[in-house]
Structure 1
Amino acid sequence: MMGCLSTALKSLRGRLIIGVTVLATAAVLASQLAGFVVLRSWLLDRVDQQLNGFPLPSSAFLAGLRASGSKGDESSPLPSDFRVYLYDAQGRRMEKWLGSRDRPGPRLPDTESELHMREDSPRSVPARSGDGHWRVAVRHIDDGSKIVVALPLDTVDGATSKLLWLDVVLLAVTVAALLALSRSVVRLGLLPLTRMERTAAEITENRPDLRLPDTDPHTEIGRLGRVLNSMLDRLQRALGEREASEARLRRFVADAGHELRTPLTAIQGYAQLALRPERRPAQEEREAQRLIVQNAERMSLLVDDLQLLATLDKEPAYQKEQIDLLSLAADAVSSAAVHGSGHPTGLGPLCDDGGNGGELDIVPAVGDPHRLRQIVENLLSNARTHTPPNTPVHVRVGVTTAGFRAGGTNRPGRYSATAPLPPGVTVAVLEVADEGPGLAAHDAEHVFERFYRADPSRSRAHGGSGLGLAIAATIAEGHGGRLELDTAPGRGCTFRLVLPTD
């Protein structure tokens, strides 16, 4: 029994059922006790009223009773249940009394001094034998003697005894009904928690997309369900981001190994060729040395890019200077023209909402001029590398507000690795747009990832290692802006650097 009770107390359902039953039982007991006390008190008051209203015997009758002597227990009958006992002026109880002899009388002391009763305070005393009780009251007489009027409490005891047994039966029935009813009520009340438990068990059984069904904000369990669902959503997003991060890391390590293995293999092969003892023509030796140097430079550039990315990810250090994006773009365009890239490159103002260009003017921004120049050069190099010869390239700069068309926010056909800026803020924009073949949506979604190349067959000499745009996007994010791409197949690519003006 104790083991079952201990097990029930460990369960929330068991504690609620036991708690409700105990509280309800206590309430029923309290009401029954109050009813018992009130009924008994009322019955005793009725008896006390009868005792106080009993007419005193006449003086002549009492004198005759005293003169009759004391010869054992004798009595004179009364036409009721009353009994009257007499104490003389010396305080001795007389042997004679008034009343019937059909039951044991009250247990009264032999002397009046042992009564310890006041005239206005009736009290209950036990019978001389058996388990009965009497209610007695003291009355004073003019000659100094006292009489004791008594009434049996059989009616009061019988009524209260029946009420007590009735209360016991009602209490047992009430407790049984409470146990049955509370189990049903508690089971119904905890049904949402039971559903949560089942859903949580299914979630742990590799069904992470399930959510708790009870989310009524007006109930405690519903609010708990909303909080748990929010927690599950965040946990699932965190797990997804972790898996994606691990996948990117594995792909990054594999791509880096692949990129480094190619020049290392070439260097190793040509070095072994150069170490052979047999003599070779001078031209062949020079070609081998040239290829060794070329692959070493290629590997050095790749390592430099990897080191730069690690530095930008860990502790980016950017200078905070007032710069002019127009001057930055003009220097990059001039440098591209000097190198004779074969791609006509023009510099112009940013187009307005109607598609018309304004006038070139200073475009102020705050940032690291060296790193921002690196972004522009990378975008120009990317346009020259991935478009056919003689494809025009347009560089545009200006100040505008972030929006659907101007840039800085998301829209269909626009791709970026950085969160959008708040719409309506003033931004400085530098665009590098080409009239090449453009990119498909799948390639555009991944173009800012590290080591990603739309054409995996390209070598570093024909398309690079896929780190340039990743570096540029990281630098832009470090300046509080973002690098984004608007493209579609056959419509060219527009890379847009968006920076806050302050």
Structure 2
Amino acid sequence: MRQWPRRLKPRSLRARLVLGATLLATSAVLLCQAAGLALLHAWLTDQVDGRLTRFQPMARLYQDVAEGRMAAGVTTRNDTLPSDYRVYFYDSDGHRLAGSLSGDGGGAGPRLPRSESALGLKNGRPATLAATDGGGTWRVITRSGADGTRVVVALPLKEVDEATSRMLWFSLTVGVAVAVGVVLFGNLVVRLGLRPLTRVERTARRIADGESQLSVPDGYAVTEVGHLSRALNTMLDRLRTALHRTEASEQQLRHFLADAGHELRTPLTSLQGFAELLVQEPEMSPQRRQEAQQLIVWNAERMSRLVDSLSQLAKLGDVPAMRWQAVDLLSLAADSIAAVALQHPDRGIGLGALSDPQDDPHEAELDVVDVIGDPHQLAQILSNLLTNACVHTPPGTHVQVRFGTLRIRPHGRGTDVPDRTSANPPLAPGTLACAVEVADDGTGLAPPDARRVFERFYRADSSERAAAGSGLGLAIASSAAEANGGRLELDTRPGEGCIFRLLLPFRPAAASTPVPVSSTCG
């Protein structure tokens, strides 16, 4: 028996809405009908009370009582009473007289007590009494007569009860009809109204079953279902983006671990091989022993540099640059050129000003480029860019370093446009930036290589760029640029050389505490 409420409970939203609407509509109709029924009954009863109040027995009736005819049980002059009135008399001693006067030929009347004291009626106030026979009721009123007698005038409530009963059955019929109509038409209206929600439900089920590329239809933008659909689509887009980012991050992590393992495996294998050679051949010649020891030192240094580069990338990705101070890019560029020129004396490296044909004349007067940043990281960026240009270009390639200021404009430098690659977000248009360009007139990079040039351990496959290296220099430079609040980008086309551009938002030298910029290594 306890399970019946659960079985009868509607399981669908449509059934609950129809049931709720049916109960509300039926209850409202029944309440209105009950109020109307009570009002009708009260109004009809007031009409009867008005007739009783207005009726006055004629003087001849009191004369009959005085002559003792009523006491003898003689009922005369029935034609003197209109309609269905009944008149009863109590003598001066309070006893009801046996006779009565009626206008309907007799029949059952009100159930009156034998004594006036048991009647309990106040003079001039109507009351309701049961009939002597059957289940009817009468409305009675008392008045004072001659010589201390009391007169009781009564009217039946048969018509009132019949009208009330008919109204009650009519109300019940209307309530049942309304309930049936609400169930039939309400089901149709609710089904049509919930059709957009049903579509959302079906689409959500398909998405849950694996069709993750679907979107919830949101053609009803002004309704709650439309707002829900838009919110679900926004949530789905964010989930898809998060999933894609997670997949891409996992893929990059796999590639990174594979590349790191490969890069570390080579020097470790060399170290192990030469160390085993020294152990297995103790009698080898001094020349071979020295050669093996030099190779061991060289591979150890290579592995140490690789580990240091990975550690630096991790630090740049975790915390922003902390050693903020004013840096003169011109002096920094000159020092970097001098250091790289010593390592590559056969390369011609020039230094010049950066020109922008759309520069404002007032901005062109800023010939000394001072920025706020970490001098060590900025020097490392320029050193990596210059080393990359000298190592990965054919012999005879000319390298040019240009510096200056420029205004970031839409589709200009510092923004994402075709034939431009960067692992850093673009700068906001209108920003005044300090720029350093490292350009070469080599063979350039193909678009597939250019898109991956800032990835860790990535090295182009072309013969001109197949020199030794770990593939971490540009990744470190890009992360350091973003850590200093700037952007490192590459403009290149096959056969037109490469232009690596470092852009740093211009800040006055007096700004000793700039806002740190969070960094994410790519």
C-alpha displacement at 1:272, in angstroms? 2.0
TM-score by length of 2: 0.89
C-alpha displacement at 1:189, in angstroms? 2.3
C-alpha displacement at 1:64, in angstroms? 5.3
Pairing partner for 1:476 from 478, 481, 485: 481
State the identity %.
Answer: 49
Pairing partner for 2:438 from 408, 432, 435: 432
C-alpha displacement at 1:463, in angstroms? 4.0
Instruction: Name the aligned partner's letter for residue 168 of structure 1.
Output: L
Q: Determine whether 1:290 maps to 2:294.
A: yes
Pairing partner for 2:85 from 41, 66, 82: 82
Encode CA deviations 1:338-368: one digit per residue, 9 max, x unaligned. 3334221111111212699978931010011
Conservation of the 8 A alpha-carbon contact between 2:86 and 2:153: yes
Instruction: Name the aligned partner's letter for residue 493 of structure 1.
Output: C
Q: What pairs with 1:80-479 in structure 2 (closer than 5 Å)? A: 80-99=83-102, 100=104, 102-214=106-218, 216-277=220-281, 279-353=283-357, 361-404=367-410, 407-455=413-461, 462-479=467-484
Instruction: Name the aligned partner's letter for residue 250 of structure 2.
Output: E
Instruction: Name the aligned partner's letter for residue 464 of structure 1.
Output: G
Change (3 A) 1:129 1:274: same
Q: Which whole-Å CA distance do the structure 1 matches of 2:464 and 2:255 have between them?
A: 17
Q: Which whole-Å CA distance do the structure 1 matches of 2:225 and 2:288 have between them?
A: 82
Q: What pairs with 1:61-76 in structure 2 (closer than 5 Å)? A: 62-63=63-64, 66-68=67-69, 70-71=71-72
Conservation of the 8 A alpha-carbon contact between 1:104 and 1:127: yes
SS of equivalent to 2:18: helix
Instruction: Name the aligned partner's letter for residue 416 of structure 2.
Output: N
Encode CA deviations 1:413-436: one digit per residue, 9 max, x unaligned. 211111111111111111101111
Conservation of the 8 A alpha-carbon contact between 2:440 and 2:497: yes
Encode CA deviations 1:62-106: one digit per residue, 9 max, x unaligned. 335751264569676346311111122222211100115543110
SS of equivalent to 1:462: coil
Change (3 A) 1:288 1:234: same
TM-score by length of 1: 0.92
C-alpha displacement at 1:142, in angstroms? 4.1
Encode CA deviations 1:144-185: one digit per residue, 9 max, x unaligned. 322111111111111111111121122112112212222222
SS of equivalent to 1:103: coil
Conservation of the 8 A alpha-carbon contact between 1:458 and 1:464: no
Q: Which whole-Å CA distance do the structure 1 matches of 2:39 and 2:68 have between them?
A: 45
Encode CA deviations 1:370-393: one digit per residue, 9 max, x unaligned. 110000010011111221111111
Change (3 A) 1:27 1:75: farther
Conservation of the 8 A alpha-carbon contact between 2:452 and 2:458: yes
Q: Which whole-Å CA distance do the structure 2 matches of 1:405 and 1:60 have between them?
A: 117
C-alpha displacement at 1:395, in angstroms? 0.6
Q: Which whole-Å CA distance do the structure 1 matches of 2:235 and 2:178 have between them?
A: 44
C-alpha displacement at 1:113, in angstroms? 2.6
Change (3 A) 1:109 1:384: same
Moved more, 37-46 or 195-204: 37-46
Uncovered stretches (5+) of structure 2, i.e. residues with no partner: 508-522
Conservation of the 8 A alpha-carbon contact between 2:140 and 2:152: yes
- Which structure is higher in RCO with an 8 Å CA cutoff and minimum separation 6? 2
Instruction: Name the aligned partner's letter for residue 88 of structure 1.
Output: D
Encode CA deviations 1:3-23: one digit per residue, 9 max, x unaligned. 565453564334322322222
Change (3 A) 1:390 1:73: farther
Match of 1:46 in 2: 47
SS of equivalent to 1:286: helix
Uncovered stretches (5+) of structure 1, i.e. residues with no partner: none
Question: Over the residues paired in the alignment, what is the CA RMSD in angstroms?
Answer: 2.7
Conservation of the 8 A alpha-carbon contact between 1:353 and 1:405: no
Encode CA deviations 1:241-291: one digit per residue, 9 max, x unaligned. 111111111110000000111111122222222222374444333332332
Conservation of the 8 A alpha-carbon contact between 1:74 and 1:95: no
Instruction: Name the aligned partner's letter for residue 492 of structure 1.
Output: G
Query: How many residues end up aligned between the 2 structures?
Result: 501
Change (3 A) 1:5 1:16: farther
C-alpha displacement at 1:405, in angstroms? 6.3
